[in-house]
Amino acid sequence: MPNYNRSRRVAVAGGAGFLGSHLIDRLIDRGDEVVCIDNLFTGDKANIAHLRNHPRFEFIRHDVCFPLYIEADEIYNLACPASPIHYQHDPVQTTKVSVLGAINLLGLAKRLRCKIFQASTSEVYGDPVLHPQTEEYWGNVNPIGIRSCYDEGKRCAETLFFDYRRQHHLSIKVARIFNTYGPRMHPGDGRVVSNFIIQALRGEPITLYGDGSQTRSFCYYEDLIEGFLRLMDTADDIVGPINLGNPVEFTIRELAEQVIELTGSASRIVAHPRPQDDPMQRKPDIGKAQRTLDWEPKVPLRDGLIKTIAYFDALLSSG
């Protein structure tokens, strides 16, 4: 007889990363079995060390650019370097992990006939001319720039997901993630929140690219993971893409000033040239997530920064 009370077995590719490890914590907490798949290029075993001996947790060191043969009831694909420093370090590999990784995990989902989630990105919108960005906007992306390996890799992954749905009737979910931050961010990933906090805690100059007038909207990881779970648990006809992010917009200079205030740092702000293809504006329209998932962010930037600063402060103190 089938066991209707058994927990779901969920595969999380990129599970040792910042967001993947937090997702796994939520899945474990609700009673699921989790298989964490990561090649540890940007993931860190420290993020999942607390689960090492958990009876419902399994770790597989594997590069999703190569086929994977496991059993699962659901798959989350978070496997890809997500910060410019990391994805530009090996741009060919970045494109490979987005495209080949999607093909291999979609192939696994096709074999298992299971639901699969794609962690896409607001970078599919490029340097947008539409503000805020809706899911219907096709974007303004440079296909041959230094960020293209990530931007176009993620765009191609979305194409693959929707083609697998049309051609193979696969159950898919696609979320477009806007700037997310919180504990377990890699201290050297070059993302603006972690950069500013590390520099402020060390008393180093805060590196501002351009005049700091470019805007971002910052979503605390707890809110984002809640969005993941709500999207994954919707009916099969709800596929996305759905924007998940915080619609409250800040300039980068405002972020720097807030970090300096909260850390009590004596750091000064130093301007540097703005990188190629760095978007001037980034703000999600989350109307679809509000209507479809009954979801919106709850954690204000100040509260999230306080928790993130405490994490990096402890990390630097222990190192």
Amino acid at 195: N
Burial of 89-100, coded b for 16+ CB within 10 Å and e otherwise, reads eebebbbbbbbb
SS3 for 31-43 is: CCEEEEEECCCCC
Q: How far apart are CA 278 and CA 4, in angstroms?
A: 49
Q: Residue holding tokens 């979609």?
A: 106
Task: Please pick, among 125, 150, 164, 221, the residue that the annotation labels catalytic.
Answer: 150
The sign of the torsion formed by the CA atoms of 203, 299, 76, 29 equals positive
**Catalytic (active site) residue 69:** no
CA 72 to chain centre: 22
∠ CA 87-194-63, rounded to 5°: 35
Give the burial class of 26: count Cβ atoms within 10 A of its Cβ; 0-12 exposed, 13-18 middle, 19 or more buried: middle
Closest CA to 78 of 111, 117, 48: 117
Q: Report helix, strand or coil for 25.
A: helix
Active-site positions read: 150
